[in-house]
Amino acid sequence: MSEQLPPPSAGVVFDRDGLRIHTFTAPEAFLANSTHIIETANALVVVDGQFVVPYARAFRAYADGLGKPIERVFLSHAHVDHFFGLGAAFADVPIHAPAQTIATLDREGESLRVERAQQYGPLVPDRIVMPQHAVIPGVETIDGLKYELAVVAGAECGAQLVITLPDIAVTVAQDLIYSGAHVYVTRDTQNWISTLGLLAESASTLFLAGHGPVADTAEVRRTIDYLTFAQQTLATAADPQAFKAALLAAYPERTGAVILDICVPRLYAETSE
């Protein structure tokens, strides 16, 4: 990885009876994007692929360093900070994603890659790798571990894969949760809030986030509070500057304000249409 880029953080966030979960998080300048590895006795399952090429390759090197085969990659949703890295580092691994995510990548993936390449240059991969397998919601067992697979519609994006590991009370929530960070706010957050409410009441006690460190139930509830405040403020703030200022004032402890520079202009563009 380029020495000019700040280092990521990576390590074990769950370790019990030979089952380990690793989280790899890019620095805040790259949205604190978090990707994960579920390590069982004989295999690895990877969730998402990072954003820019150097961190994607560093994430793959971390996975390879565990010395076990990657059984598959789950792609949680069709946002570039989660799927770009697949083209950079995981093209040789089976990739599973919701059918709607696959359709979105087929329709928009290459144009998004070209657009971001104009902004980020060689940090963007030179190709899009399409998932080969559509996730079927339900229960699947991989190397002895039960995976409950669900697809949530109309939350942070059109389709979000949620993976629950009921045997160890862990849910991979990805961009339903921005742990300790400002959130990519959408115009209609009601279903997102409802989904988080169900997670907060679930049996899971550890939640893997799409941005920032792993979260507990209290952080899930704080995300609900954030989205509720954002929804109320969006209805009254006169312009994007006022909306962003209100979020920064209400949540000064949250990191990653750069995400607001991405989502807030889009919210007000939608309002003017």
| C-alpha distances in Å from residue 236, one per residue of 89, 92, 225, 232, 263 | 44, 49, 17, 7, 17
Do β-strands 133-134 and 70-74 pair in parallel, antiparallel, or remain unpaired?
unpaired
At 115, which amino acid appears? E
The domain total for the chain is 1
CATH code (residue 72)? 3.60.15.10
Task: Assess if residue 154 is contained within a domain.
Answer: yes
Task: Assess if residue 177 is contained within a domain.
Answer: yes
Task: Assess if residue 127 is contained within a domain.
Answer: yes
Task: Assess if residue 182 is contained within a domain.
Answer: yes
> Distance (Å, rounded) from C-alpha 211 to C-alpha 40?
24
Q: Which domain holds residue 56?
A: 9-272
> Distance (Å, rounded) from C-alpha 165 to C-alpha 145?
8
Query: For each of the chain's 273 residues, which pLDDT tens digit applies?
Result: 555 899 999 999 999 999 999 999 999 999 999 999 999 999 999 999 999 999 999 999 999 999 999 999 999 999 999 999 999 999 999 999 999 999 999 999 999 999 999 999 999 999 999 999 999 999 999 999 999 999 999 999 999 999 999 999 999 999 999 999 999 999 999 999 999 999 999 999 999 999 999 999 999 999 999 999 999 999 999 999 999 999 999 999 999 999 999 999 999 986 544
Task: Assess if residue 1 is contained within a domain.
Answer: no
Task: Assess if residue 2 is contained within a domain.
Answer: no
Backbone phi, then psi, for 181, in 5-degree steps? -125, 160
Task: Assess if residue 42 is contained within a domain.
Answer: yes
Task: Assess if residue 79 is contained within a domain.
Answer: yes
Q: Is the entire prediction scored with pTM above 0.75?
A: yes
Predicted pLDDT of residue 273: 41
